[in-house]
Amino acid sequence: MHKKAIIVGASSGIGLKVAKLLLADGWHLGVAARREEPLLELKASAPERMEVMTIDVTKPDAGERLQSLIERLGGMDLYFHASGIGKQNLTLEESIELNTMETNAVGFTRMIGTAYRYFAERGSGHIAAITSIAGTKGLGPAPAYSATKALQATYLQSLEQQAHQRGLNICFTDIRPGFVDTALLNDNFPYPMMMRPEKVARDIVRSIYRRRHVRVIDFRYRILTFLWRLIPNWLWRRMKLVSIILLLSFVSIVNAQDKKGRWVESINVLSPTPCSEISGRVKVSLQAKGMEHLVAQCYVFDAKHTKPQKTVLTPYGIKLDENGVGTFLLNAKKLPHGPLTIQIIGDNATGEHDLYELQLYNTAGKQSQIAGIPDTIPSAAQGMQLVYSDDFDGPLSISRDGRGARYNAHKPTFGDFSGWPFCNPEGAQNPFMQKDTYLIIRARKDDGARGSTGLIATVDMNGNGFRATPPCYMECRLMAQSAPGTWPAFWTITNINRGEGDELDIIEAYGGWGEGNPNSTGYWVTSHFWGQKDEKGEPLKHPGKLIEMTERRLGTSWSQTFHTYGLRIDSLQTTYYLDDEEVWSHPTNSYSYEQPHVLLINYAIGGASGWKVNLERYNNTSEMYVDYLRVFEQRNK
């Protein structure tokens, strides 16, 4: 006999994710929501096991329509309520409060009551509903939402007690998630500790199977709500939203800095080989011992090439056998052509987690990746002329010392700084490749070798070649892997010899997650004023700033998608840019304006950065992809 569940609120978000998981487990479903189109799309995946009904929980006939859906399904073993709305309302607009009450209070009571009466007549059943941690305490920024969530939790508890008193075998599961990355929170507010809906859905299904009474998702929010309950009312009423957010962030930081078995290196991709080419349908095989939940994702730019969208490649997760081995399929034709970063994320019930970045080059796929030098002039280069550009769409011109070539394979004239040496293009350790419109710098280490990686500079060892003369603007579009020891950079120097001079680091990114690693999705911009002193005879400071990328317009890190990193130098300000947006500036130092700049791009591995190197599980191979480099100058100062 097949188990039968009805899900109200199954058109999107967590309700949709739970529906897919139950379908995968063989359930027959009745799905309902206000919008019919997404329900019909879901039904197409298993038409023989699904019934569809449009239900608006705020309408008086919603209970009757639920009963009709139960009859069409042939019964109901589980009722799962995932319908709800919520919005911040600091000005207490009446329409927001009343609409929230209608859906989360009246509608919730109507639907839960209908399901309860059905199970009471049958003598048994299971009611599960998504409430929220927002019902723990009254939250001033969202009064109606917080109040209705408290109502929901209390109503479920009351019905559970009544069922026990009446001798009814009805189980209740109150699901209280924290912040989940769904349309409900799509209001541009910087919610901390955001959770993936796929992970929350898996937790919900597991809680239903285990017949949990109350489940707070996840363990960070269990800590948080425990702390909330300890705060006395006289203090709580005085707390502002920022204080509550800081408390959330504190819990997140405590979790991130917990060194006791949190980060582990469990995930290893067995095939395809990291940094290999793919086309057609590709089976990815991996092993992740100790992990319980795995998901694979990548970021793909939308049709207008304006913003990357997270694409979950394994919506049902990745199933592992008793040896921790699992597989999933990639359809290369449906993914962007060119370099891809596939992130495989795993965790388990003990709090251990892992992140593996699989670099691949898609030789098939859609040409939806932004590639090549754009036709538009950057905003910071308006009024300037293009004086240098390289699209890396043809044979490379690099030599061991820069003589007779466009680029030098070493930092002129001294100071190679990578733990894995910068190598020449002429030998067997050549780290440079060109494909489509990309320069690929491959870092690799063979057994018993020191390793090899690459750097390019725009002047040779004698200082001959291209230098950018201020006022100027320069930019480079690139992507690299975040793994222990990776250190991609785009930077300039004014002096190739020892002594006074400026070094402007447009991007320095440090890769790797876990104990002893940077654990950052951002990068550093830094201005070094080497050998110079102020009017008091003190060495000039080296100002810098960490740029948090996920808070910016594109919302992705330097390893997830390509980004454009820029620098403008004029007589007054030195300004750093990310994707044509200003991220930091400071008054221009005299050397920076008066001396021309050598441009350098490199993919260092360890060395002077001080971070440990561990690329073993990536087959000691990692790649940096450079799309283009261009420079604009203002000819008339």
Residues 397 and 406: their CA atoms lie apart, in Å, by 5
What is the spatial distance between Cα 112 and Cα 79, in angstroms, rounded to a whole number? 8
In degrees to the nearest 10, what's the CA dihedral of 371, 374, 379, 381? 110
Query: The tokens 């876990």 sit on which residue?
Result: 514
Coil/strand/helix, residue 222 = helix
Cα 138 to Cα 150: distance, rounded to the nearest angstrom: 8
Active-site residue, selected from the candidate residues 79, 116, 118, 145: 145
Ramachandran angles phi, psi of 426, nearest 5° = -85, -20
Contact 209, 27 (CB under 8 A): no
**Tokens of residue 240, six digits:** 């502002």
Side-chain half-sphere of 199: how many Cα atoms within 13 Å? 24
- Are 485 and 611 a contacting pair, CB within 8 Å? yes
Query: Which region holds residue 429: left if phi is over 0, alpha if psi is between -120 and 50, else beta?
Result: alpha
DSSP state letter for 201: H
Residue 209 in contact with residue 5, Cβ under 8 Å? no
Q: Check if the beta carbon of residue 510 is closer than 8 Å to that of residue 520.
A: yes
Phi, psi of 301 (to 5 degrees): -70, 145
Is 145 among the residues known to form the active site? Answer: yes
Please give the Cα distance from 482 to 512 (Å, whole number).
5
Task: Give the pair of three-digit tokens for residue 51.
Answer: 């019934």
CA of residue 467 relative to chain centroid, distance: 36
Which amino acid, residue 220? Answer: R
With CA atoms as reference, report the closest residue to 205 among 481, 425, 7, 342: 7
Q: How far apart are CA 419 and CA 277, in angstroms?
A: 27
**Burial track 151-175 (b if 16+ CB lie within 10 A, e otherwise):** bbbebbeebbeebeeeebebbbbbb
Cβ count near 233 (within 10 Å): 9
Contacts (Cβ under 8 Å, ≥6 apart) of 558 = 478, 479, 480, 482, 488, 507, 509, 521, 523, 549
Q: CA 514 to CA 354: how far, in whole Å?
A: 8
Determine contact, residues 388/630, Cβ cutoff 8 Å: yes
* Residues classed as catalytic: 145
